[in-house]
Amino acid sequence: MLFDRCGYAGATLGEIAGAAGVTKGALYFHFASKEELARAVLEQAEGTLRDACSTLRTTSSPLQALIDSGYWLVDALGSDAVIRAAFRLGREGGAWLGEAAPVAAAMGAQVTGAPVAGTQGFHGVWAGVVQDLLSGARRAGELHDRPGGVGPETLVVTAACGLEVVFSEGCSREERARRVGALWEWLLPCLVPPGASGTYRTRPLTSVPA
């Protein structure tokens, strides 16, 4: 996908049509502009992310689903050009992109944490899903009951969004899994009540939603 390799500014509609094996006219039949095509990429990536996280949530607690969503993301960054392109489009920004509001999770729960301000495009979608799962974990009593503040939410959302930066340039699947596991081994004791860390699996699932 040219948006993944070249970014929004670097990919022309002619090059995109050539890579897709269609004429420029045929491409214009489906997408009136490069902006419309980029938005379609973002929408497809969002649907993939939401479907995966929704499936994970239906089979585990909110906090376990959040851990597994991190593994899903770094796997997708290695294998899914649409997900990579969506993140790159978000990094490049542009007036066409707009600012993303925090999103409610596909499970139907309301976001109860503080807004994820200043995030654009797919970064805002991912940050919103992370925050929503974390808010669900708080409502479910999975988190340490500390009075006031949004420290845990800020820490986890920032760390989760940083996964894309760390792994965007590529490393082996085994190394990605090792690093994500190490991240959660450090984060969990800060988030859950004393002694509860062992309740959660910090290793990847043997199979994750495609």
pLDDT for residue 198: 92
- Report the distance separating Cα 102 and Cα 162, nearest Å: 17
137 against 209, higher pLDDT: 137
Q: What does the pLDDT look like over 20-29, one tens digit per residue?
A: 666 666 665 5
Q: Hey, is 204 helix, strand or coil?
A: coil
Between these two residues, 110 and 23, which has the higher pLDDT value?
23
Q: Is the pLDDT of residue 95 over 70?
A: no
What single DSSP character describes residue 111? P
Q: Is 50 exceeded by the pLDDT of residue 110?
A: no
* Domain 39-199 of CATH type 3.20.20.140: no
Render pLDDT for 143-186 as a digit per residue (tens, 0 to 9). 987 655 567 777 887 888 787 777 766 577 788 888 888 889 98
> How many whole angstroms separate alpha carbon 87 and alpha carbon 77?
9
- Greater confidence (19 vs 33) lies with 33
Which of 48-62, 136-150, 177-191: highest mean pLDDT? 48-62
Q: Is the pLDDT of residue 64 over 90?
A: yes
Average pLDDT over residues 76-82: 87
Average pLDDT, the chain: 76
- Type of residue at 72: W
The structure tokens 């807004």 sit at 115
Number of H helices, E strands in the chain: 9, 0
How many Å is the Cα radius of gyration of the chain? 18
Q: 108 or 57: which carries more pLDDT confidence? A: 57
Bigger pLDDT: 114 vs 59: 59
pLDDT exceeds cutoff 70 at 30 = no
In the chain, % of residues over pLDDT 70: 67
Cα gap 30→66, rounded to integer Å: 36
Q: Residue ranges of the domains in the chain? A: 39-199
